[in-house]
Structures are given as structure tokens and as C-alpha cells.
């Protein structure tokens, strides 16, 4: 068993971390550094500034919305709160380009004009739609963890609004800042939305330099600039983000204070529903209307175009999720049971950095490393995409599994140890069954993210392979709007179908396992 | 005869010394209670004896065999012929009562497993709960399941780390009587950790009072009650 752990560590180091280090740091020793750095001009920095402004606007508004919604969903007696929470998260799990298509269609239908949405402001709107749920998740988790007594002692000395501003908000400040930092990083790294709207930003510039002008060294140098911005933010918020308590199954539950809404119940419920209509139902309905505007013909055509991509995409997402969960499990095991090893601390940071750096840059580093004759068997196959997905999303699996492992009392393992149960048997018979809901949740999330990942896939997919998001993206540029909408609607429906089926299975697993934890 | 000896033990957690040059021994077939307030080192002593922790210096002997010495575990926990009742009981939540008790036997490929498990279930009046999961049991039933799981492997030594903490007074008294009977029936040497002197005085043949990793007093219940030591007198007041 220990050998398996070391194999996973070594493979992750060689296949994922080494290419990143090799490409990003190799540029300094290649002789390309000085000639290319001179190509940095005011336009380069203007684009970085523009990307930063889009990211700041997105992060500010999404975090503000997230804070308000999180408070309503996690701290008030709002009705149907669990359903609302589940529905609200949908945009986070849908590939960003789907929402971009939906919003373009909405503007086309409503104003017969897409110029308004095909702009920096439109990009911000779509990104807010995607990332507000992430903010709800982060801030909701922090609100859930506030000690009830702190709020109650606050209420003894002041009124409710002042208590919220003076007690609750300062207590959740780390979560608010982390939400801002994470959404900023994701927004500045986003490629598919600005690319779809035809907005030139820093990521699209890197992509152009790499894929259109084949100026790899300049693309890598520009990437380094973007990584620098992301890593600087990561370091300021790193401690909270590395903990990622929002990626927790929370099977033990918390006793957070819930506030009665009283007369405001209906208006607060209406506000939440309005938000849901705007963020989830409008995109879906608009895609539906556009798809069937001329009958079912375009929808059927879209289905036939996408049909050959289903098996490849599902298989790819499945295997990448298996490897992601395996990697997440091994890293989580070391993090919980070998807390003080340097390997553990380093790997924790590597997982976070790979998760946070723009997909485009990660993709470039893998291409630069694997594009050589001796590694062509990886470069020219789907293996490179599986490696990329595993590297990118292992942080999520790692954190979900780690948080779940931390909830299991060490004494359960020790009780087995003293009974004479072998090491590997303890892992398979005691530990794995107890963290099963987290393992499955990690699998679901990885699967959904893998299925919708565009930026990495577009850079790495081997020629001749048909993959769902690539097919949609390549056809988008020239196809009639109804066909694009139909294809997007199909991907949207498939994603929803997978999310809901997995969710139902997850509920079954959780129902089976969660009562077991009430004993302790 | 001494069944457990800790000789010149040094132990620290993250650089903070818990035990320094610590010596203690326990008599065979006796029920010894380690009494002390929180963080005095009593659980650490149990964990060192069990083999979950290795002392940085000194040796641990069980039945005159060296089991740990100088930072090394010589004999692993499961080969020390002892059982441990954890403070949180550590019942495996995904196993039924039957499986919790049988699991160790199954892994050791013992014979007549069903018979041995039901003997325990009968002894502890748990037969009708055999198929229940831990979360479906009452506090007392959980306690008994944990003890049954420990004793089914027929250990010579039973280490108990404040196992009755979460029980109400009435149930606690019932369990204390149970523990006294167990010692006789299974010919056990029991080492019982507690911060409650009333519990210790009800149970113990011998009591050892600890404070900040040092022994303040040891002897029979009567010896401790009459001890002149300032700390012991203060501790017994509450």
C-alpha cells in the first residue's frame, strides 16, 4: 500500500509538476528570455490591465452578491433552502462558454442586438453569473462555522443590523477576501468567455501568440506575468484558501444560528427566486427558445454532430476523474496522517498553484514538455488530456477528501491497529468506507469539471479526436445561431442530467453513511 | 508481580515535555487508576503502554519483555496482548455490533468466531442488538460494545481512557460495577484513567495521582484519602 502511495506521488511529480517547472523556468535558461522580454510593450500591459479590471469588477460584484445570498441561505429561515442552494450552484458546474452563448442569445432575442453583451461589460456579467455561486459556497461555509454564542452575546449589547456589521462581517472577513481572491484569479484566467465574445484580453493574447503566431517563448513569458499576479494573490490569501474549508462535506453538521425572517419572509424568498430566474432559468429558457425557433431540425442536426463526441468525452472525463480521486486520496492521506512531512506541505501548495494558474498556461507547459519524439506516445494521445485534467482538478478532490478524513477520529484507526488489522486492510475496511461520500463527491465534481473544461482541451486534444466542448467551440464561429444554441443546449442538458443523476446517487450514499457519524 | 513497567521515560509533544524521567509500574491482576486533571500526562502514559507513541527516552516493559525503548516501538500494539477502550469508544460506525466485535477475530483468522462473539454478546446482554449499528445504541450499550470488542481477543491487560465520561451518574455506577466484575472474570490487569476521584475510589485497588507529568501520590484508596500531599488534598476537595 505504501508503495502505491509513493508511485502516485512520483507519477504526479513527473507527469504534472515537472512539465510546469520545466517550461516556466526553462525559459530563463533558453536564450529566448531577453529577445522576447523586449517584445513586451505598452499593449501587453494594457491588456493585462484590462484583464485585471474585468477580474476586479467580477470579483467585487460576485463577492457582494455571494455575501448577501449566503447570508439569506445559510443564516435565515428561508423556505426550501436546500433546493435553492442546489439550484443556485448550477452555473458553477456548467462550462462558462454555455452561459456565454445563452446570454448572447438573450440579448439577441430581447434587443435584437448582441453588441451590448459582446463587450468587456458583457464578459463581466457572464463571469458574475458563473462565480457568484462560488462566493456563496465560500462565505456560506464561513457563516455556518460561526459560534452561535458569539452572535448571541453580540445581540445582548446591540441591535441586529449592528451585530451583523460589527460581529458577523468581521468574523467572515477571511472568507470574503478569499472569495474575492479566488474569483479574481479565475476571472483573469478565463479564456472561453472573452474568446467567444471576441474580446481581446490577456489570456486570448497568450493563446494567439502560442497557437496562431507560434511564438511560444513570448507566450510563456506573458504567462509568467499572469502567474505572477495569481501567485501574489494566492500568497496573500493562501492560508485560508489552502485550508479550503468550503470544500467540506460537513457530515457532522453545525449548529449555526438561524434568524427568523418574520414578515420579510416572502420578499426575501421572492428576491432569491428572482436571482435564480436570472442566473439559471433565463439562460436555459433562452437556449431552448433559440434552439427550437425553426422547429426541431437544428436540434436534431446538432445532436447528430455531437453524437460521435459523447463516448470520447464521457470516457475522458471518467478516467481523468478516477485518477483525480486517486491523487486526491493519496495527497489527503499524507496531509492528515503525515502532517509534518515537507513533502506534504510542498504538495499542498503545488496542488493549489496548479489549480489556480490559468488553464491556457498549464496547457502550454504540458505541450512544451511532451512535444518531443520520445514522449510522443503521450503527446499524440488522450493521455495528455487526462494528465492535464488530473493535475488541474486534484486540488478539489484533495480538499474534499482531506476535510472528510479530518472528521474521522484517529481512535478508529488505532482501535483497528491494536486489534491487529494490517495497514492496507485498515485503509480499505475502515478509512475508505468512512470517507465514501467524500470520495464520490470528489468524483462527481471532477467529472463535471472535466466534461466542461474547454481551455485545456482546446490546447491539448489530439488531432482527429472528437470531444464535446471542442466540437461546439469550433463550429460556433461559422454555424447559424440556432445550431450553436442547440449544441449548447444539448451540452447543458447532458451536464444537468449528469449532475442530477450523480446527485441522486450521492444522496443515497450520504444517507447510508451520514447517520453512522452521529454516534461519536 | 509487576505486569507493566515504565522506566526513565521522556516524552514530549511538538517540543513540549509531557513526561520527564518518569518511572511507574503496575501490579498484575489489579485495577490501577491513574488520577489527575487535564493535560497531566495520564492519556499519554496509556498511549505509550499501548504502543501508539514511542517514548523519546527510556523503556517500556510488559510482562518483563521490552516493548518500546529509546524512541522505537519494538513490539507493535497488536502483539502486546492488551486492549484499549478509547475515550470516544472508537466503535467503527459502519460496522454492526456483531461486526465490531468479530472484526478483529476475522482478521486474525480465529476459529469459532460466531461462538466467541455470541459468548460476549450474551455476557454483556447485547445479543438482541447484534445487528444494530453504533448510532442506534444507547450510551451504555455503546460502552458495553466497546468493552466486548476489546475483550473478545482475550487480552491480559485492559487500558481504559476515561470511558465513562459521557454517561449519566446512574449508568456510570452500573458500568463501574460491571468493570469490577470483568476484572475477576477475565483475570485482567486494568489500567483506568480518570479525572474523577469518586470514580477512582469506587473502582481501584491502587490509585496513582498525577500532576504535570509527575506522581504526587500512590497507594490504596485509603492511602490516597489520607495523603498529606498538598496537591492531592486540593485535588480531592473538588
* Closest CA in chain B for residue A436: B94
Does A429 contact B at CB distance below 8 Å? yes
Mark yes or no for CB contact A416/B91 under 8 Å: no
Question: Which residue in B has a C-alpha nearest to residue A417's C-alpha?
Answer: B78
Query: Between chains, do A519 and B142 touch, taking CB under 8 Å as contact?
Result: yes
pLDDT of residue A247: 61
Same domain, A185 and A242: yes
In-domain check, residue A378: yes
Q: Is the pLDDT of residue B139 over 90?
A: no
The whole domain housing A325 covers 300-520
> Which pTM value belongs to this model?
0.80
Q: What is the pLDDT of residue A207?
A: 86
Q: Tell me if A419 and B94 make a contact (CB, 8 A cut-off).
A: no
**Residue B24 falls inside a structural domain:** no
Domain count, chain A: 2
Nearest to A398 by CA among A453, A458, A350, A451: A350
CA distance B123 to B140: 14
Please state, in angstroms and rounded to a whole number, the distance separating the CA atoms of residues A440 and A397.
10
Nearest to A417 among B78, B82, B135 (CB): B78
pLDDT per position as a tens digit, B159-206: 999 888 777 888 888 888 888 888 888 889 999 999 888 888 988 999
CB of A411 closer than 8 Å to CB of B50: no
Residue B159: strand pairing partners: B84, B191
Lookup result for grid cell 488541474: A392
A433/chain B closest Cα distance in angstroms: 7
Last residue of a domain, one of A272, A291, A310: A291
Report the alpha-carbon distance of residue A369 to residue B39 in Å, rounded: 54
pLDDT of residue A252: 47
> Would an 8 Å CB–CB cutoff place A431 in contact with chain B?
no
Residues B94, B105 contacting (CB under 8 angstroms): no
Which pLDDT band, with edges at 50, 70 and 90, does A251 fall under? Answer: very low
Contact B107 A415 (CB under 8 A): no
CB contact under 8 Å between B90 and A434, yes or no, is no
| pLDDT, tens only, B67-124 | 999 889 999 888 899 999 998 888 988 889 999 999 989 888 889 999 999 999 999 8
Instruction: Check if A425 contacts B (Cβ < 8 Å).
Output: yes
Q: What percent of chain A has pLDDT over 90?
A: 26
For residue A24, tell me if it sits in a domain: no
pLDDT of B22 reads 92
A137: closest CA among A70, A64, A80, A56?
A70
Q: Determine the length of chain A.
A: 520
Q: Contact at 8 Å (CB) between A452 and A68? A: no
pLDDT of residue A238: 61
Residues in a beta bridge with A396? none
Beta strand pairing call for B57-62 and B2-13: antiparallel
* Domain, as residue range, for B124: 92-154
Query: Are residues A432 and A440 in contact, defined by beta-carbon separation less than 8 angstroms?
Result: no
**Which of B43, B84, B92, B162 to probe by mutation at the A interface, max A CB count within 10 Å?**
B92
Tell me whether residue B205 is in a domain.
no
ipTM: 0.79
pLDDT of residue A124: 96
Last residue of a domain, one of A269, A291, A313: A291
Which of B83, B108, B134 has the CB atom closest to A519's CB atom? Answer: B134
Per-residue model confidence as pLDDT tens digits over A131-159: 999 899 888 888 888 888 778 777 877 88
Residue A245, in any domain of the structure: yes
Looking at beta carbons, which residues of chain A come within 8 Å of B153? 419-420
Nearest CB to B77 within list A409, A412, A418: A418
Residue B23 inside a domain? The answer is no
Mean pLDDT across chain A: 85
Q: Give the residue from A513, A24, A70 showing the smallest Cα distance to A272.
A: A70
Same structural domain, A270 and A361: no
Report whether pLDDT(A515) > 80. no
Instruction: Kindly report, residue by residue over A313-322, the tens digit of the pLDDT.
Output: 999 999 999 9
**Contact between B92 and A421 using a beta-carbon 8 Å cutoff:** no
Indicate which CATH number applies to the domain containing A371.
1.10.3720.10
Each residue's pLDDT tens digit, B18-50: 999 999 999 999 999 999 888 888 999 999 999
> Do both A518 and A426 map to the same domain?
yes
> Which band of pLDDT confidence, cut at 50, 70 and 90, is reported for residue A243?
low
- A197 pLDDT higher than 70: yes
Q: Answer whether residue A163 shows pLDDT above 50.
A: yes
Mutation choice for A interface testing from B48, B62, B90 by most A CBs within 10 A? B90
Q: Which residue has the higher pLDDT, A159 or A50?
A: A50
- How large a percentage of chain B has pLDDT more than 90? 53
C-alpha B35/C-alpha B206 separation (Å) is: 10
Contact residues on chain A for B76, CB-CB shorter than 8 A: 417
Please tell me whether residues A78 and A185 are part of one structural domain. yes
Write down the pLDDT at residue A466. Answer: 81
Residue A153 lies in a domain: no
Are A384 and A407 found together in one domain?
yes
Out of A416, A430, A518, name the one closest to residue B135 (CB).
A518
With beta carbons under 8 A apart, name residues in chain A contacting B149: 415, 419
- The minimal CB distance from A414 to the residues B90, B91, B103 is found for B90
Q: Is the pLDDT of residue B233 over 90?
A: no
Nearest to A411 among B88, B103, B134 (CB): B88
Establish if A318 belongs to a structural domain.
yes
Please check whether residues A249 and A356 belong to one and the same domain.
no
Within this chain, do residues A310 and A243 fall inside the same structural domain, yes or no?
A: no
Q: Is the pLDDT of residue A310 over 60?
A: yes
Residue A78 has pLDDT above 90, yes or no: no
Min Cα distance B41 → chain A (Å) is: 18
Do A248 and A308 lie in a common domain? Answer: no
Tens of pLDDT, residue by residue over A456-510, are 888 888 887 888 888 888 887 778 878 888 988 898 888 888 888 888 887 787 7
CB A296, CB A107: distance < 8 Å: no
Task: For residue B103, give every residue at least 6 positions away whose Cβ sits within 8 Å of its Cβ, in sequence order, or none.
Answer: A416, A419, A421, A429, B92, B95, B149
User: A412 to chain B nearest CA, in Å?
Assistant: 5
List chain B residues with CB under 8 Å of A409. Answer: 86, 88, 90
pLDDT band at A340; cut points 50, 70, 90:
low
Res A65 pLDDT > 50: yes
Same domain as A349, residue A283? no
A204-236 tens-digit pLDDT? 998 888 888 888 888 888 888 888 888 888 777
State residue B10 phi and psi, 5-degree precision: -115, 130
| Interface contacts A/B by beta carbons within 8 Å | 78
Nearest chain B alpha carbon to A433: B94
Mean pLDDT along residues A26-31: 76
* Section A398-408 average pLDDT: 86
Is there a single domain that holds both residue A393 and residue A520? yes
Sole residue written with cell 497531566: B40
Q: Which of A118-132, A426-440, A469-483, B136-150 has the lowest mean pLDDT?
A: A469-483
What pLDDT does residue A255 have?
A: 60
- From A420, which residue of chain B is nearest by alpha-carbon distance? B78
Are A488 and A390 in a shared domain?
A: yes
Residues recorded for chain B: 238
**pLDDT at position A240, please?**
60
Distance from CA of B8 to the nearest CA of A (A): 25
- Which residues of chain B neighbour A513 with C-beta distances below 8 Å? 94
- The yes-or-no verdict on residue A519 having pLDDT over 50 is no
* Residue B93 DSSP SS3: coil
Chain B positions contacting chain A at CB under 8 Å are 50-52, 76-79, 82-84, 86-88, 90-94, 103-104, 107-108, 133-135, 137, 142, 149, 153
CB contact under 8 A, A418 and B50: yes
- Please report whether residue A205 resides in a domain: no
Last-in-domain residue among A228, A257, A291: A291
Contacts of B93 in chain A (CB under 8 A): 412, 434, 516-517, 519-520
Residue B22 lies in a domain: no
Number of domains in chain B: 1
On whether both A495 and A348 belong to a single domain, the answer is yes
Alpha-carbon distance B54 to B73, whole Å? 6
Amino acid at each position: 500500500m505504501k508503495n502505491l502511495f509513493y508511485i502516485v506521488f512520483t507519477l504526479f511529480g513527473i507527469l504534472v509538476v515537472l512539465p510546469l517547472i520545466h517550461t516556466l523556468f526553462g525559459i530563463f535558461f533558453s536564450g529566448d528570455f531577453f529577445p522576447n522580454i523586449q517584445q513586451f510593450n505598452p499593449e501587453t500591459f494594457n491588456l493585462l490591465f484590462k484583464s485585471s479590471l474585468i477580474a476586479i469588477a467580477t470579483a467585487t460584484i460576485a463577492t457582494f452578491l455571494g455575501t448577501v445570498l449566503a447570508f439569506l441561505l445559510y443564516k435565515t429561515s428561508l423556505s426550501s433552502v436546500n433546493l435553492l442552494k442546489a439550484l443556485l450552484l448550477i452555473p458553477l458546474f456548467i462550462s462558462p462558454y454555455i452561459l456565454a452563448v445563452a446570454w448572447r442569445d438573450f440579448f439577441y432575442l430581447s434587443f435584437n442586438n448582441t453588441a451590448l453583451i459582446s463587450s468587456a461589460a458583457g464578459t463581466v456579467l457572464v463571469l458574475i453569473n458563473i462565480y457568484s455561486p462560488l462566493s456563496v459556497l465560500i462565505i456560506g461555509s464561513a457563516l455556518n462555522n460561526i459560534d452561535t454564542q458569539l452572535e448571541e452575546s453580540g445581540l445582548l449589547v446591540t441591535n441586529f443590523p449592528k451585530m451583523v456589521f460589527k460581529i458577523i462581517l468581521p468574523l467572515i472577513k477571511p472568507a470574503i477576501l478569499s472569495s474575492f481572491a479566488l474569483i479574481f484569479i479565475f476571472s483573469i484566467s478565463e479564456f472561453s468567455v472573452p474568446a467567444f465574445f471576441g474580446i481581446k484580453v490577456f489570456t486570448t493574447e497568450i493563446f494567439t501568440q502560442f497557437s496562431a503566431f507560434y511564438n511560444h517563448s513570448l507566450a510563456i513569458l506573458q504567462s509568467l506575468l499572469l502567474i505572477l499576479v495569481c501567485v501574489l494573490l494566492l500568497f496573500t490569501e493562501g492560508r485560508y484558501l489552502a485550508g479550503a474549508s468550503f470544500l467540506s462535506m460537513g457530515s457532522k453538521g453545525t449548529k449555526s444560528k438561524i434568524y427568523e425572517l418574520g414578515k420579510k419572509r416572502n420578499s426575501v424568498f421572492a428576491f432569491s427566486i428572482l436571482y435564480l430566474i436570472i442566473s439559471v432559468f433565463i439562460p436555459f429558457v433562452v437556449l431552448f427558445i433559440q434552439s427550437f425557433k425553426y422547429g426541431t431540425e437544428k436540434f436534431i442536426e446538432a445532436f447528430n454532430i455531437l453524437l460521435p463526441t459523447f463516448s470520447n468525452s464521457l470516457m475522458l472525463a471518467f478516467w481523468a476523474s478516477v485518477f483525480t480521486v486517486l491523487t486526491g486520496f493519496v495527497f489527503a492521506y499524507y496531509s492528515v496522517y503525515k502532517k509534518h512531512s515537507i513533502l506534504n506541505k510542498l504538495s499542498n501548495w503545488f496542488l493549489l498553484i496548479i489549480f489556480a494558474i490559468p488553464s491556457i498556461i498549464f496547457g502550454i507547459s504540458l505541450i512544451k514538455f511532451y512535444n518531443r519524439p520520445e514522449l510522443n506516445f503521450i503527446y499524440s494521445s488522450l493521455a495528455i488530456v487526462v494528465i492535464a485534467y488530473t493535475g488541474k482538478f486534484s486540488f478539489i478532490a484533495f480538499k474534499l477528501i482531506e476535510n472528510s478524513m479530518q472528521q474521522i477520529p484517529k481512535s478508529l484507526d488505532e482501535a483497528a491497529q491494536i486489534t491487529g488489522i494490517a495497514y492496507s486492510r485498515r485503509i480499505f475496511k475502515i478509512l475508505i468506507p468512512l470517507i465514501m461520500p467524500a470520495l464520490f463527491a470528489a468524483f462527481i465534481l471532477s467529472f463535471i469539471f472535466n466534461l466542461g473544461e474547454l481551455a485545456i482541451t482546446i490546447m491539448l486534444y489530439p488531432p482527429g479526436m472528437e470531444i464535446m466542448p471542442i466540437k461546439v467551440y469550433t463550429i460556433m464561429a461559422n454555424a447559424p445561431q440556432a445550431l450553436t444554441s442547440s449544441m449548447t443546449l444539448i451540452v447543458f442538458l447532458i451536464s444537468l442530467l449528469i449532475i442530477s443523476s450523480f446527485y441522486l446517487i450521492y444522496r443515497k450514499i450520504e444517507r447510508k453513511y451520514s447517520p453512522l457519524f452521529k454516534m461519536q | 508481580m509487576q505486569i507493566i513497567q515504565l522506566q526513565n521515560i521522556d516524552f514530549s509533544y511538538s517540543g513540549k515535555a509531557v513526561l520527564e524521567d518518569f518511572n511507574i509500574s503496575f501490579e498484575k491482576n489489579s485495577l490501577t487508576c491513574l488520577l489527575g486533571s487535564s493535560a497531566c500526562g495520564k492519556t499519554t502514559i496509556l498511549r505509550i503502554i499501548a504502543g501508539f507513541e514511542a517514548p523519546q527516552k527510556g523503556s517500556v516493559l510488559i510482562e518483563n519483555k521490552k516493548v518500546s525503548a529509546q524512541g522505537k516501538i519494538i513490539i507493535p500494539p497488536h502483539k502486546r496482548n492488551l486492549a484499549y477502550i478509547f475515550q470516544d469508544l472508537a466503535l467503527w460506525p459502519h460496522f454492526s455490533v456483531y461486526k465490531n466485535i468479530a472484526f478483529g477475530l476475522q482478521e486474525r483468522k480465529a476459529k469459532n468466531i460466531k461462538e466467541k462473539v455470541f459468548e460476549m454478546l450474551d455476557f454483556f446482554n447485547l445479543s438482541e442488538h447484534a445487528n444494530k449499528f453504533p448510532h442506534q445504541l444507547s450510551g451504555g450499550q455503546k460502552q458495553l460494545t466497546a468493552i466486548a470488542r476489546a475483550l473478545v481477543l482475550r487480552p491480559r491487560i485492559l487500558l481504559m481512557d476515561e470511558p465513562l465520561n459521557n454517561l449519566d451518574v446512574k449508568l456510570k455506577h452500573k458500568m463501574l460495577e460491571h468493570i469490577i466484575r470483568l476484572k475477576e472474570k477475565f483475570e485482567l490487569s486494568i489500567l483506568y484513567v480518570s479525572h474523577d476521584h469518586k470514580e477512582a475510589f469506587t473502582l481501584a485497588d491502587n490509585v496513582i495521582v498525577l500532576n504535570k507529568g509527575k506522581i504526587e501520590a500512590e497507594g490504596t484508596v485509603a492511602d490516597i484519602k489520607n495523603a498529606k500531599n498538598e496537591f492531592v488534598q486540593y485535588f480531592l476537595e473538588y
